[in-house]
Amino acid sequence: MDTFCEISCYSKDKDRSIAAIDAAFKEMKRIEDIFSKFDEHSEVSRINRLAGIEKVRLTKEVFSLTQDAVYYSQISEGAFDITVAPLMELWKGARKGNSMPDRAELETTLKSVGYKNIELDPDELYITFLNKGTKVDFGGIAKGYAVDRAKDILISKGINKGLINLGGNIFALGSAPGNKNWGIGVYDPREKDKLLYTFRLTNKAISTSGNYERFFEIGGKRYSHIINPVTGEPCMGIVSVTVVSGSAEKADALSTAISVMGEEKGLNLAKAIKDIEVLILKEDGRVISYPLERAGNEL
């Protein structure tokens, strides 16, 4: 998934921990093999080759994550959208050529972008793209999904204290040894030794989307790897968005979505969803958090 992964487990039985970690890594690798857009044999590559031409039958697992992705598109007014794939390719080309994409090319690409181009048949598990150029990219949700599955594996192997971190998508299982919870610090990426906030979590997921670890440069200027699916432009104004939720998949999708939506719309979404916490670091240095009681607490 083009990032790092760390798993820690605590148990009186060391062998049990090692077996659990091995099984969790295997599960993540299995998920990577399915959702990778770089591996031409992956199920997602098959969808991207065929679904614009004919209906493609999916495994239950891929169908289900696609349904979830569409749900996150709906609640975020299209800010989260796995059909950004053609835009990702366009900006990748721009980065390689070190020049901004051509306006006309951007407009053409935008025509194939939009979750409404995805048609799902839940009875037969078929997917069809209503536009030939549509392609999907699970990069904004698959890491969170993989963390949830890895966490389930740890639990099934008898582990109740542990930490999984897949590229900033974290699940805090139980509590740290000798503690009531896990302390997860969010750094100010511009001053790495400065902690913005410490979340105290138990059995919760936390995900940070930011333009500081994953970004690209054109003409010496930095651009976010998160693209606004409506304008086709990389999102701007926000340094990072952190979301806490019971599910790592949800935290992953919503941290990406809120990065696109920005402060006002993003906070409105958080308020509507209720069971999430959000911390936004803006480019002008402001830190915004929800629920508001959080502000001033450990900031």
Contact set with ligand AMP (CB under 6 A): 80-82, 84, 88, 137, 139-140, 209, 214, 225-227, 229, 252, 255-256, 260
CA–CA distance, 99 with 229 (Å, rounded to integer): 20
Instruction: Considering the complex, state which of residue 140 and residue 232 has its C-beta at the smaller distance from Mg ion.
Output: 140
User: Per CB under 5 A, which region of 18-26, 64-72, 85-93, 255-263 contacts Mg ion?
Assistant: 255-263
- Residue reference for tokens 């333009």: 211
CA–CA distance, 165 with 6 (Å, rounded to integer): 5
- Which positions from 49 through 108 interact with Mg ion, judged by CB under 5 A? none
HSE at residue 133, side-chain half, CA atoms within 13 A, is 14
Of all residues in this chain, which one has the CB nearest to ligand AMP in the complex?
139
Instruction: List the one residue out of 118, 217, 196, 204 whose CA is nearest residue 162.
Output: 204
Instruction: Considering the complex, state which of residue 86 and residue 162 has its C-beta at the smaller distance from ligand AMP.
Output: 86
Cα distances (angstroms) measured from residue 3 to each of 6, 143, 235, 271? 10, 10, 21, 31
Cα distances (angstroms) measured from residue 215 to each of 88, 147, 209, 295? 12, 22, 11, 28
Instruction: Considering the complex, state which of residue 9 and residue 257 has its C-beta at the smaller distance from Mg ion.
Output: 257
Instruction: Considering the complex, state which of residue 84 and residue 159 has its C-beta at the smaller distance from ligand AMP.
Output: 84
Contact present, 205 and 169 (Cβ < 8 Å): yes
CA–CA distance, 175 with 161 (Å, rounded to integer): 6
Instruction: Considering the complex, state which of residue 201 and residue 260 has its C-beta at the smaller distance from ligand AMP.
Output: 260
Partner whose footprint covers residue 277, from Mg ion, ligand AMP, none (CB < 5 to 8 Å by kind):
none
Binding to Mg ion by CB under 5 A, coded x per residue (else -) over 171-210, reads --------------------------------------x-
Instruction: Considering the complex, state which of residue 36 and residue 255 has its C-beta at the smaller distance from Mg ion.
Output: 255
Phi, psi of 213 (to 5 degrees): -100, -35
Choosing from 68, 137, 148, 252, the residue that interacts with Mg ion (CB under 5 A) is 252
First to last CA, the chain: 31
Choosing from 140, 167, 232, 262, the residue that interacts with Mg ion (CB under 5 A) is 140
Partner whose footprint covers residue 88, from Mg ion, ligand AMP, none (CB < 5 to 8 Å by kind):
ligand AMP
Binding site for Mg ion (CB under 5 A): 140, 209, 252, 255-256
